[in-house]
Amino acid sequence: MDGKKRLGSPLDANKGKEQRMFSPDPHFRGGADEGSVTSGASAQSASFHRDTEGAMRDTFLVDILKMNGEPFKGTVPRTEALKHIFVRALGFKPDEFHGATPGFRCNPTVLFKTKEIFNIDERLAGKSFFSYQKTVKTEQGEKIIDMSCSIRGIREQDPTTRAGPSYTWLKIEGAEYHLKEEQLRLWLSEYGLLVSDITEDKEEQRPDSSEDDETYNDIDLNTGIYSAKMNLIKPILQLIPMCGKKIKIYHKGIKKQCMKCFGTGHFKRDCVEERKEWLDYVDCFMLEAKLPDEYYGNWSKWVVDWRLKNQEKHNANKNCQTERDEGQEREKEMRDEKVKEIGRILKEQRDKAAAKNTQNHLEQEATMELGAMSIEAISNPFAGLSSAKRTTDKTEEKRTGKPGARSGKGRGKGFLSLQGSPTDTPQPNTQHE
């Protein structure tokens, strides 16, 4: 850092400018004098600056997490980022957009740049997690796709809604060297994105005073327990029937399962439920996960025999899973209805705004036309009379369907009344008669 103190703002280069822009006290000066301010107004200004400095920015990063509930591994074009994310989902105006840079940080990302500095805590409140929909054309027709996203760094009032670092360290027990790394990766990819290699934990060697210290010092005491760093997209169960082995997963915050009924929320010593067979649990797991049989190894063979012997339990498991699937489908339909309703409201607002802009434009044109007529009337008094006459003729023509005085041959009496007086009209010669 070359001895420079970092103040936490993403715009350290414009620190003095920000203080003048966002501090309510015009006499407030930051930097070395900030700690020496003792007056009430200056102290309030310093506090205000410290509270808002970290929130004022002109860039923010959006993580693209899921597509239709599954981990998203593609890219987002800039056009989609501008229209669907920046404008429709986050509520910015198109003229506030400066640029967007797609990237990848364990999951696809989009870095947005705005033209002006804004307070991310106020402008994007409640948007730590958000979603949007897009329509794509396929051979079967148009298809609606749901995209789930998050924005890090927003200081929400409710801490549970904040999008923080999504990396989680997992411990994998029970493999006992019988599973290959490819099999572990295949299973873990169903729950998120691996952001590190799968490594085996080692036991720390204790000092030994025997004569063989030098012989065993370079030997690793492997434990058979694996570790991996992941970006979890959906919750992972603690007990997994993985490739014929009973695998136990541990990570911070995981819902631990009872070893008696395989439920959550209590331990085996406090369980009052009836003991559940392991293959009964595997049957429920397979019905819910809907993964190919090769994921389970020998479990897929053994569970077939169990289903033949326990048809009633299998049917009960299928009925329970059907109810859960129907409930999830209803929730999805409700979300889709809410999204459509929001889209309808936004369309109405856009139509009203367009109608208002059109009305303002017409009023502005009318005002400009009246101003031009006023200037013409001042420069030429008879021009106003001619314009009024033309307006009267047009109105009379629309009312009666007959052409006005100026629409016939010649200029008519209207022209005479403007060019000469009544005394100029020729009189009949009575003496000649």
d(CA 326, CA 27): 63
Single pTM value for the model? 0.48
* Strongest mean pLDDT among 69-78, 184-193, 294-303, 329-338: 294-303
Whether 432 is in a domain gets the answer no
Residue 1 pLDDT level (bands cut at 50, 70, 90): very low
Burial 59-89 (b: 16+ CB within 10 A, else e): ebebbbbbbeeebbeeebeeebbbebbbebb
Whether the CB-CB separation of 150 and 232 falls below 8 Å is answered with no
CA 232 to mean position of chain CA atoms: 18
pLDDT digits (tens, 9 = 90+) for 150-172: 998 888 776 666 666 567 889 99
Does residue 322 sit in the same domain as residue 275?
no
Per DSSP, the three-state class of 279 is helix
Per DSSP, the three-state class of 205 is coil
pLDDT at 170: 93
pLDDT digits (tens, 9 = 90+) for 101-122: 999 877 899 999 999 999 898 8
- What's the total number of domains in the chain? 4
Whether 323 is in a domain gets the answer yes
Q: How far is CA 428 from CA 413, 417, 420, 431, 433, in A?
A: 18, 20, 18, 9, 9
Q: Half-sphere exposure of 382 toward its Cβ, with a 13 Å CA cutoff?
A: 6
d(CA 425, CA 432): 18
The DSSP output letter for 35 is: G
Does residue 180 sit in the same domain as residue 120?
no
The yes-or-no verdict on residue 40 having pLDDT over 60 is: no
Say which residues have a Cβ less than 8 Å from residue 110's Cβ, sequence separation at least 6. 61, 62, 64, 76, 81, 85, 100, 101, 102, 103
Tokens linked to 343: 């889209």
Whether 405 is in a domain gets the answer no
Tell me how long the chain is: 433
Domain limits at 194? Answer: 167-202+222-281
Whether 294 is in a domain gets the answer no
Does residue 137 sit in the same domain as residue 95?
yes
